[in-house]
């Protein structure tokens, strides 16, 4: 196996120069650098990153801990993290905490013991053990997707990257209200996750903006997964005053809600209008096509890497929270008519569809739904496009 000394001899430079070329630790003249690269190529030299880590105390690796990796939302986050890491010459170690606080602390400890330079973690609903571990060991960490509350006195302890959940949620509620719905239900996620509370708060903001009262019976917890959402939706359908529109707070819960609607022989949107948080590749293959809020999942992952690398470069910089905007993907499960032209037009092309434009009224279940107002849709500020 050729060594660094072999490369240095072949290129006619010192071992230190080879090291500077490999690690980018000092500028090296272009022709010297090329001679080193040619020698590396010719000899088939492979750097020993373990040996390098002993010298630099850096492994150029990032530990990623996210639950539900098979969920397309988290798979895309993973793709973003991987691409970002690769771009900056970092490799990834991945662990699944299964949304379980104890397991979470264990896998984070394992990643830390492998001496990753930093961690990217989507924290569970009860991250106390995790926070205690990270605090004790001072591990550079970025939280992703779910953010952790700020300490009582002010600035957040950790860098965080997430999607802006509340505003797009308010946006779909006002959209449904604009279509005449007055009983709009929410299938919310697992209690304790910031994404759950922000989406509930966005839902409430939407009701206020639409002048609709809050009815706690219309907010049920699907616990962020399909089976929970199926049960929660069935509970909504057993209410005396059923909702006429449903908002699901993530992709898995959309599947569960659709199962419950099917089991109750309710069609979408005629029997129940539906809008979902999370877009996914086959959301436009359903009939009707699903109106959804798309999260910038890959960008969340890539941005988390950038924030972590900034932290590694400047450990004392103040922690920051980056919120990325979502996109309202207007299709037809909300009850709007299929529009001519390309399937996903911008929201400016959206019009609340009245019965005359093909939207069915949920038969005999008024006053959950009134005739749609003639008002144009209000555009949510900034974050939803």
Residues that bind ligand HPA (CB under 6 A): 71, 73, 145, 195, 224, 250-252, 278
Question: DSSP character for 159?
Answer: E
Q: How far is the CB of 304 from ligand HPA (least distance, A)?
A: 14
**β partners of residue 162:** 323
Distance CA 168, CA 245 (A): 16
In terms of Cα–Cα distance, which of 234, 282, 224 is closest to 258? 234
Q: Which two tokens stand for residue 168?
A: 């797009």
Quote the CA–CA distance of 382 and 385 in Å, as a whole number. Answer: 7
Shortest separation between residue 145's beta carbon and ligand HPA, angstroms:
5
Least distance (Å) between residue 159 CB and ligand HPA: 18
Q: How far is the CB of 146 from ligand HPA (least distance, A)?
A: 6
- Closest residue to ligand HPA, judged by C-beta, is 250
123 or 243: whose CB is closer to ligand HPA? 123
Nearest partner of 77 among 111, 121, 112, judged by Cα: 121
Write out the H or E segment, with its range, that includes residue 186.
strand 184-188
Instruction: Compute φ and ψ for 6, nearest 5 degrees.
Output: -60, -45
Compute the distance between CA of residue 48 and CA of residue 106 in angstroms, rounded to an integer: 28
User: What is the strand order of the sheet 118-121 is part of?
Assistant: 91-95, 61-65, 118-121, 141-144, 159-163, 321-324
- 142 vs 359 by CB, closer to ligand HPA: 142
Query: Which of residues 101 and 368 has its CB atom nearest to ligand HPA in the complex?
Result: 101
Tell me how far, at minimum, the Cβ of 294 lies from ligand HPA, in Å. Answer: 11
- Residue 64: half-sphere exposure toward Cβ, Cα within 13 Å: 27
Among residues 166 and 309, whose Cβ is nearest to ligand HPA?
A: 166
The least CB distance from residue 210 to ligand HPA, in Å, is 24
Judged by beta carbon, residue 258 or residue 359, the one nearer ligand HPA is: 258
Nearer to ligand HPA, 145 or 164 (CB): 145
Q: Least separation, in Å, of the C-beta of 303 and ligand HPA?
A: 15
Give the torsion sign (CA, 79, 85, 87, 91). Answer: negative
Decide: helix, strand or coil at residue 146: coil
Give the residue with the Cβ less far from ligand HPA, 205 or 224. 224
């Amino acid at each position: 196996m050729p060594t660094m000394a072999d490369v240095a001899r072949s290129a006619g430079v010192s071992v230190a120069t080879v090291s500077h070329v490999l690690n980018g630790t000092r500028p090296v003249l272009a022709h010297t650098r090329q001679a080193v690269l040619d020698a590396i190529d010719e000899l088939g030299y492979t750097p020993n990153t373990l040996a390098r880590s002993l010298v630099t105390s850096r492994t150029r690796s990032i530990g990623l801990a996210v639950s539900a990796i098979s969920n397309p939302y988290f798979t895309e986050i993973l793709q973003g993290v991987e691409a970002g890491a690769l771009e900056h010459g970092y490799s990834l170690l991945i662990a699944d905490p299964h949304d379980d606080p104890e397991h979470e602390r264990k896998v984070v400890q394992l990643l830390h013991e492998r001496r990753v330079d930093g961690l990217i973690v989507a924290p569970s609903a009860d991250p106390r053990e995790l926070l205690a571990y990270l605090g004790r060991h001072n591990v550079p960490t970025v939280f992703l997707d779910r953010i952790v509350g700020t300490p009582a006195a002010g600035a957040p302890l950790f860098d965080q990257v997430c999607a802006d959940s509340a505003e797009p949620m308010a946006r779909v509620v006002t959209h449904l209200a604009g279509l005449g719905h007055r009983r709009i239900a929410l299938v919310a996620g697992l209690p304790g996750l910031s994404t759950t509370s922000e989406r509930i708060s966005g839902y409430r903001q939407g009701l206020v903006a639409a002048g609709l009262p809050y009815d706690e019976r219309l907010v049920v917890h699907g616990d962020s997964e399909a089976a929970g959402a199926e049960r929660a939706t069935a509970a909504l359908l057993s209410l005396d005053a059923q909702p006429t529109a449903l908002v699901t707070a993530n992709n898995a819960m959309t599947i569960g809600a659709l199962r419950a609607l099917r089991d109750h022989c309710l069609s979408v949107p005629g029997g129940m209008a539906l809008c979902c948080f999370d877009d996914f590749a086959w959301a436009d293959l359903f009939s009707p096509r699903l109106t959804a809020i798309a999260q910038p999942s890959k960008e969340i992952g890539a941005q988390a890497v950038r924030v972590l690398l900034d932290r590694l470069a400047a450990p004392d910089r103040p922690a920051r929270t980056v919120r990325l905007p979502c996109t309202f993907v207007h299709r037809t499960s909300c009850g709007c008519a299929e529009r001519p032209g390309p399937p996903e037009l911008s929201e400016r092309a959206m019009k609340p569809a009245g019965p005359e434009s093909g939207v069915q009224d949920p038969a005999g279940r008024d006053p959950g739904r009134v005739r749609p107002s003639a008002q144009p849709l209000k555009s949510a500020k900034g974050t939803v496009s």
